Structure formats: C-alpha cells, structure tokens
A and B are shown apart, each in its own frame.
Chain A
Amino acid sequence: MNRDEIYSILNGVFQDVFDDESIEVNDATTSADIEDWDSLEHINLIVAVEKAFGVKFNVGEIHNMNNVGDMVNLIIAKKG
C-alpha cells in the first residue's frame, strides 16, 4: 500500500468521523485544521483508522501523532 492509496482511504475515514464530505487531509494536517478534532474525537478517529486498515495503535503511538503524516508513517510501518 503506498501513500496515495492510504490517503484515499484515510480521507473517507476522516469525512465519516467528522461528518464533513469536504475534508481532505495531507501530511501537514493537524487537529487545529479540523474543527471537531478534539482529544475525545481523536480516539474515535483512531478506532476508525484501526478498523479501516486492520492495524492496532498503542497508547504511546496515539500520543506521539502530531499530524496526519505521522499517522500515515505508522500505518505504513505496521502494514509492512
């Protein structure tokens, strides 16, 4: 799975979680860019991402995600 493929799935997940069809994310996107992305919604997002890609993040990893780019790197690392 390459970065672009991941992003096409990820955009769908974000749109679904935040209920906004217009969301497009990239490496630099952070929680500040999306209105409803607070620390609680973050958990829902993580769970949805885990489900969509069939991966598991641990608590430390969830913490260290500073932007969407970090998340994508993790997914790539986990998918091998």
Chain B
Amino acid sequence: MNITEFSFFIFVGIAVLLYYLIPIKARWVVLLSANLYFLYNSNSWVLNGIWLGCALVTYGATVAIGSIREKKPKGAKAITVLAVLVVLGFMLALKDIGFFTALLNRALRLIGKGCPTPVFSAPIGISYYSLVWIGYILDVFWGTCTVEKNPFKFLAFCGYFPTYTSGPIAKYQDVHDSIVNGNKFSYKNLTFGAQRVVWGLMKKLVISERLAIVVNTIYEDTYRYPGVYVWIAMICFAFQLYTDFSGCIDIVIGIAEMFGIKLPENFDLPFMATSLAEFWRRWHITLGGWLRDYILYPILKSDLFQKIGAKSKKAFGKKFGKKVPTWIGLMISWFLIGFWHGGQWNYIIGVGIFFGVVIILSEMLEPAFNKLKAFLKINTEAASYRIFQRVRTFFIFMTGLSFFRSYDGFTYGIANWKNALTVYNPWVLFDGSLDKLGLDQHDIYILIFFGLLLAGSGLLVHFKKKSVREIIAGQNLVFRWILYLALIYAVIIFGCYGVEFDSASFIYQKF
C-alpha cells in the first residue's frame, strides 16, 4: 500500500471514522487493527513473520528489562544488548546483506575464494521502525521511559502505520501515551490534519514528480546531457528530494493529526539554514536526533572517549584538544547516517562522511575564517551575507546529494562531477534545449507557480514564526474554503499520478 494511493486514503478515512465512533478507552484497538491491516497489505507473509518476531523480542525484552533493571542491572544489560543485536541484526541482514557479502568477498578473494550474493528485497520501513524499537529498548534500560506491558498496546505503538514506511522516527515518549490512551475528537485536529495531507500531496505529486522527470532524463544519459544539464539535474534533485520526503512526512504527520496524535517534525525549512550543521538540524530531524541520543551522547560519555579527550588535551592544548573526541564521535555518527541510507559507498560517502568532514573542517577552520572576515571587513550581519551562507549551504548539500543520487555507485558520481565541471555548454539555457527534458510549457509554469507557493509559505513561516495553517484559519470562511478547494482541485488536476504516469514511490521509503 502506497501512501499516495487512493485506496490508502479510503483506508485512512474508514480508520478515522471508526476511531471516533468507539469509546475513547478502546480507540487504540482501531489503531492496532489498522497497523495489522496495513502491514498485511505491504509485505509478504515471511517478512511480516520476521517483523512480528522482532516486535515480540522487543516486547519481551523491554518487559524483562523493566522488571529486573533495579535489582539485577547486569542481567538487564545483557538482555538489552541481546535485544538490540537481534533487531539490529535483522535490519542489517535484510537491508545490507549485499554490502556485507561484497566486503566478505573482497576478503575471501585474498585467499582465492568467494560466495554468492543473496538477492531479496528488504521489507519497507525496516530502517525506520528498527530505530524506534532500539531506542525504546535503550530508553527502558536507562529508565527514561515507562514500559508497555500489554502486548497489544505495544503493537499499537510499535507498528503505528502512518510512520511505518518513512518515519518520522518517533520516540516512545513522544507518541506512546497518545496512541494507547485514545484522543478526544477535535474538529481542529481533523481539518488541520487533512489540510496537511493535501499540502504534502501537492509537494509530492505536483512538484516532486515533475522534477523527477527532469532529473531522470538527464541522469539516464549524461553523455547526451552533459555540463550545464548535470548542474540542472543536481539542483533539481535537491528540490525533488526535499518535496518528496517532506511531502511524505506532511502526509504522515497530517494523518496522525487526524487521530489526534502529534508526531515529531522532521523538517524545519532546511534551505533557510546558514551552515551545514544547522542544515542537518533542520533536515531529517528525527534521524539526527536519534543518532544524537542513542549513538553520539553515549559514546561521548563513554570512558574510552573521556580518556581520548584527556590525552588530546595534553597533546593539542586545551581549546583544540577537547574537541577531538567530539569530532571522532561526529565522524562515527556521520558514517552511520551514510550507512543507514544503504550499504553502498556512494551513500556512506555522499550523505555521510562528506558532510561530517565539512562540518568538522568548518569548526577547525573557524578561527582562521574569522580572521579572514575581519581582514576583509566583511559584514556578517548583512542580509546579503546570510543569503550567501544559505546558497553556500545549499551547494554543499547538493554536492553530497549528487553522490546519493548516483545509484550506480561512487565512481559514477565522480564521473558526473567531472562531466559537470569540464563540459562548457551554457547556451543550452537559452536555445530552447531545456524544453526537451520531458516537461512542456504547462509543466514548467506549474512548477514555477507551485514552487513559488511553497517558497512563499516557507518565508511566511520563517519571518512570521507562525504556521501557514494558523494564518489561514484566521481568515474568513469563504476565503478559506476557496483556498482549500483550489488546493485540492490543483492536486487532482496537476498531480502526476494515474495510468499515464509511472507512480513512483517515495525516495525515502527505500531506506
């Protein structure tokens, strides 16, 4: 079941209706049933069996950890490690088996042997719910959250269907109570949720799918579309990915809102970021948050890292030295972010190590840059300087992303860059060549219009510090309704869906 499909919305509509028709105490049962139905429609029996197995391991482990945590901390630790390994093991096995066998083969080749790479498709959403479960196990172990002892309520939480395919990675503390306790009917939740769904559909179907046509056309044949075309593809892909992923998240959060469940935000106008570090606090927020809480903090707090810190302070001096363990921790986190996207080097480098290196370098070189800025008398408070910072941040992000998009691997990404930098053909911007990238005049006008709409709403949020939905809700009914209807009709008419289009799935569902 894809979350832009008509049948999915019928399913959600029925679920919402049932949810509010039954007594508040029992409402979680509707969510549980919806979870199971969604799962049943998404995966094969085998994969659902594995899913259920892992869920039961998580359930059993957390109940056990919760009960012996105080009395037998060693036993609790053992169970925690075991449970995390099981969940992690299945995630890695199902997702990244290809990567590991490739590594293994490389090693085996040294002794003249090899093994075949197994081929099967990973269940959708595994990268997301595995992290939620691991986080929950660790939180129970640390005593930072309560334990759900009812296995059915646990399933209602741990398989919460809107977040199943692509997040956001919602922590137990964020959503559990709201899911199992039931929520009162609220007209505002229902309408705001529905509006957010439509907005997400607009991003995905009207903007992202059109950009995808340009990006795919160019990337499929960079011999025919070299130089400036590659630049266009790289820029369009950044916006494609944003509208795709954040559109998907809008739909998910909107649906959850209709049930009265508030999910954590995953995006906060990332293109307004003035530095890469800030960018990653605004982009895929829940993944960054997860890594910070469950990877970065624990390792920085570990004795090993404290020792490293002490040594590096001695070696490099206090100011620089104390940063060293943080940087190592960051590099590990960035490697894991890259690896999480998939066991391929273009992911590990493109959306992992590359960003880590840039962030750490920018911290290392900050004093030098500050001196340079002072020397050149650059006014860092000027609006133009902030715009420059945003463009620079976008450029760095786009650079990493260009490897992310090179599904064929890292060397292909390098070849594209060589192509982009060496072929000189700026005339294609002016001689009508761009019309041949699969979009006609209508499409381009639609892209410009809805792109401006999106940018405008983003700027409104940025400067007014108020959500667009709140602003619209303050207007008169006739105006509001015209706006809502116009947006819904626009999605129906201008959306790329149906027989004439290959309805592409969300990019981030693969992970």
Contacts and interface: CB of A to CB of B under 8 A. Distances in A.
Interface in A44-59: 44, 46-47, 58-59
Given A47-B306, A58-B142, A63 B293 contact: yes
Interface stretch (B14-22, B50-58, B318-326, B389-397): B318-326
Contacts of A23: none
A59 B301 CA distance: 10
Nearest to A16: B318
B69 to A, nearest CB: 11
A39 interface: yes
Contacts of B309: 44
Contacts of B330: 40
A43 B300 CA distance: 7
A46 B306 CA distance: 12
Contact of A60 (B145, B298, B300, B322): B145
A40 B326 contact: yes
B292 interface: yes
Contact of A19 (B142, B297, B318): B318
Contacts of B139: 59-60
B144 interface: yes
A62 interface: yes
Contact of A62 (B145, B297, B326, B329): B297
Interface residues of B, number: 22
Contacts of B319: 19
B6 to A, nearest CB: 41
DSSP majority for the B interface? helix
A59 B315 CA distance: 30
A46 B326 CA distance: 13
Contacts of B151: none
A47 to B, nearest CB: 6
Given A43-B297, A47-B301, A60 B143 contact: yes
A48 B243 CA distance: 42
Interface in A3-30: 19
B136 to A, nearest CB: 12
Nearest to A39: B292
Contacts of A62: 297
B142 A46 contact: no
A66 to B, nearest CB: 15
Contacts of B296: 40, 43
Interface residues of A, number: 13
B322 A59 contact: no
Interface string B119-161: 0000000000000000000110011110000000000000000
A39 B277 CA distance: 11
A34 to B, nearest CB: 15
* Residue in A46, A47, A63 whose Cβ sees the most chain B Cβ within 10 Å: A47
Contacts of A47: 300-301, 306
Contact of A58 (B144, B294, B306, B329): B144
A59 B136 CA distance: 12
A60 B142 contact: yes
A71 to B, nearest CB: 15
A43 B301 contact: yes
Given A46-B301, A47-B301, A63-B293, A58 B143 contact: yes
A40 B326 CA distance: 7
A58 B77 CA distance: 14
Nearest to A61: B144
A45 B348 CA distance: 31
B326 A44 contact: yes
B300 A59 contact: no
B134 to A, nearest CB: 13
A60 B143 CA distance: 8
A46 B297 CA distance: 10
A60 B142 CA distance: 7
Nearest to B139: A60
Contact of B144 (A40, A44, A46, A60): A60
A63 to B, nearest CB: 7
A78 to B, nearest CB: 13
A61 B297 CA distance: 12
B431 to A, nearest CB: 49
A59 B318 contact: no
B279 to A, nearest CB: 15
A67 B94 CA distance: 43
Contacts of B142: 58-60
Nearest to A57: B301
A55 to B, nearest CB: 13
Interface in B462-482: none
Interface string B386-429: 00000000000000000000000000000000000000000000
Given A47-B301, A59-B144, 18 more contacts: A19-B319, A40-B296, A40-B329, A43-B296, A43-B297, A43-B300, A43-B326, A44-B309, A44-B322, A58-B142, A58-B143, A58-B144, A59-B294, A60-B142, A60-B143, A60-B145, A61-B144, A62-B297
7 contacts: A39-B292, A40-B300, A43-B301, A59-B142, A60-B139, A60-B145, A63-B293
Chain A to chain B: the 10 pairs with minimum beta-carbon distance, closest first? A60-B144, A43-B300, A58-B142, A40-B326, A59-B142, A43-B297, A60-B142, A59-B144, A47-B301, A47-B306
